[in-house]
Amino acid sequence: MVVPQRKFRELVFQMLFSQDLNEGSDFNVITSLLDQLTVTKKTLRQAHERMQCVFEKLGDIDQHISRCSRDYDFNRISRVERNILRLGVFELLYDKDIPPKVALAESIRLGRKFGTPEGGAFVNAVLDAIYRTSEAEPCLSKTS
């Protein structure tokens, strides 16, 4: 059974959130937490692999978020929005199979679904700033 990309993205977000909330939780805890979503073991494994990819880049991802969320200190961003942003930044900057507009739109959708009423707008503002910065960086290096 093929899982729609939206459901897969939600699964990865929920794993990121769970890992952030319960630092040091292992894969078994995540598996038992997500049994209710009725996904295959293969899908769960793929989502876990994606989560690990995000965590491998976490230092860079969090730096981008900190730099572009001028109105909020990184630690004041709610865990929900912080992990949506982490996934969004990963998709935007490191996953070349996902078009930037899709990464932005899906992150905004996750922000509206799981976050505060203003979550979608906040996620949009931060990711848009990161996207603009990432687009400008190659142009700056060409002129140097």
Domains, the chain, with CATH or none: 5-136 (1.10.940.10)
pLDDT tens track for 80-110:
999 999 999 999 999 999 999 999 999 999 9
| Tally of helices (H runs) and strands (E runs) in the chain | 7, 0
Nearest alpha-carbon partner for 114 in 87, 93, 132, 141: 87
Q: What is the mean pLDDT of residues 39-63?
A: 91
Nearest alpha-carbon partner for 46 in 96, 7, 103: 7
Q: What's the confidence (pLDDT) of residue 84? A: 97
d(CA 137, CA 56): 22
Cβ pair 86, 65 in contact under 8 A = yes
Q: What's the confidence (pLDDT) of residue 26? A: 59
Its pTM stands at: 0.86
Quickly state the pLDDT bin for 64 (edges 50, 70, 90): very high
pLDDT tens track for 13-42:
988 988 888 766 656 556 665 666 677 788
Average pLDDT in the chain: 84
Instruction: Report which residue type is found at 66.
Output: S
d(CA 52, CA 61): 13
Quickly state the pLDDT bin for 8 (edges 50, 70, 90): very high
Q: What's the confidence (pLDDT) of residue 139? A: 34
Would you state the torsion angle of the CA atoms of residues 113, 116, 73, 33, taken in this order, to the nearest 10 degrees?
-50
